[in-house]
Amino acid sequence: MDLRHYNITGRPIAIGVALALALPATWATAQGAKQQQIQSTKLENVAACNGEPRATFEAQIGGCTVLIEGGLENPQTLVIAYLNRGDALVGQGKYDLAIKDFEESIKLNPNYFKTYNNRGIAYSKQGELDRAIADFDTAIRINPEYAIAFANRAETYEKKGDHARALKDFDEAIRLRPTLAGVWNERCWTRAVVGELQAALADCNEALRLEPNVAATFDSRGLTYLKLGQWALAVADFNSALQSDPKLSSSLYGRGFAKVKMGDQTGGNADIAAAKAIEQNIVSEFTRYGLN
């Protein structure tokens, strides 16, 4: 699910779509080593294109490319193959190429909502936030029950600084799919930023209940505790976040900030210096949160 913690800056909410291939009867009934090898190779490419099992981005792109260029697939298979290859390209940071694949998928099926959602993620990663929102709008128009698009649009509004619209979309995403831990975390962080601190704590607690030991969620709850002035609880959460992600700059800075408030100037300043070395703008970021 990038924005600050979960979706559009590196943690896409977009879910890969499995290729549902109906193999022709001749494939199922073919006899002999040659036919079996052809079938096996095709199934391997399908699995790779689906990202199974734990396929690398390179393997996924390769499997999808074989299916796309083979000239034997039906249009709906190609819709998914282009979509999945686009997703893998997003994973590699090749957003322009990914967008081209999403456009091919849309040409084949202009009513497939997931492709618009995933293209929206690519646009958002490029910083084209209005185009991203337009794609999320389209995905939601086609399928008003698609919680992922609401969450991604929320995170894009969040990136634009429009917290009111972001919270409204997070509310809808949670209503539609209350088991998405990452969305609870993002709403926690947004509520912390705007000062809805008790509600933020409740959201982070629910996110950790659904998916324990996630660094991003401890980081969000740590921010909430900072804004509440509960320094020891903030340090504890930032410690938990840093156990999983030792270079999480927001947790390093937040822990340092809390330590300084508790009187530990040496330890606090060391954490703050480490955070600045990772993220040059970390001080201004926390200033925007009202922590200075």
* Residue 228 contacts residue 196 (beta carbons within 8 Å): no
pLDDT at 45: 81
Note the helical H segments in the chain.
Answer: 25-29, 33-49, 57-69, 75-91, 95-108, 113-125, 129-142, 147-159, 163-176, 181-194, 197-210, 215-228, 231-244, 249-261, 265-278, 282-288
Confidence of residue 29 (pLDDT cuts 50, 70, 90): low
> What is d(CA 286, CA 258) in angstroms, rounded to the nearest whole number?
12
Predicted confidence (pLDDT) at residue 128 exceeds the cutoff of 80: yes
pLDDT (mean) for 269-290:
96
Of 232, 280, 233, the C-alpha closest to 253 is 280
pTM equals: 0.84
pLDDT at 39: 54
Largest CA distance in the chain: 77
pLDDT at 71: 77
Task: Say which residues have a Cβ less than 8 Å from residue 271's Cβ, sequence separation at least 6.
Answer: 252, 253, 255, 256, 259
In the chain, % of residues over pLDDT 90: 77
Confidence of residue 52 (pLDDT cuts 50, 70, 90): confident
pLDDT at 23: 43
| In the chain, where the domains are located | 1-158, 229-292
Task: Enter the CATH code of domain 1-158.
Answer: 1.25.40.10
Model confidence over 229-262: pLDDT tens digits? 999 999 999 999 999 999 999 999 999 999 999 9
Amino acid at 181: A
Q: What's the CATH fold of domain 229-292?
A: 1.25.40
In the chain, % of residues over pLDDT 70: 86
The token pair that represents 175 in the structure block: 């209503």
pLDDT (mean) for 200-217:
97
Of 258, 249, 259, the C-alpha closest to 283 is 249
Predicted confidence (pLDDT) at residue 60 exceeds the cutoff of 50: yes
Model confidence over 148-174: pLDDT tens digits? 999 999 999 999 999 999 999 999 999
**Does residue 53 have a cis bond before it (omega within 30 degrees)?**
yes
Model confidence over 71-91: pLDDT tens digits? 777 888 899 999 999 999 999
Confidence of residue 4 (pLDDT cuts 50, 70, 90): very low
Mean pLDDT of the chain: 88
The token pair that represents 276 in the structure block: 């600045």
pLDDT at 47: 86
Confidence of residue 26 (pLDDT cuts 50, 70, 90): low
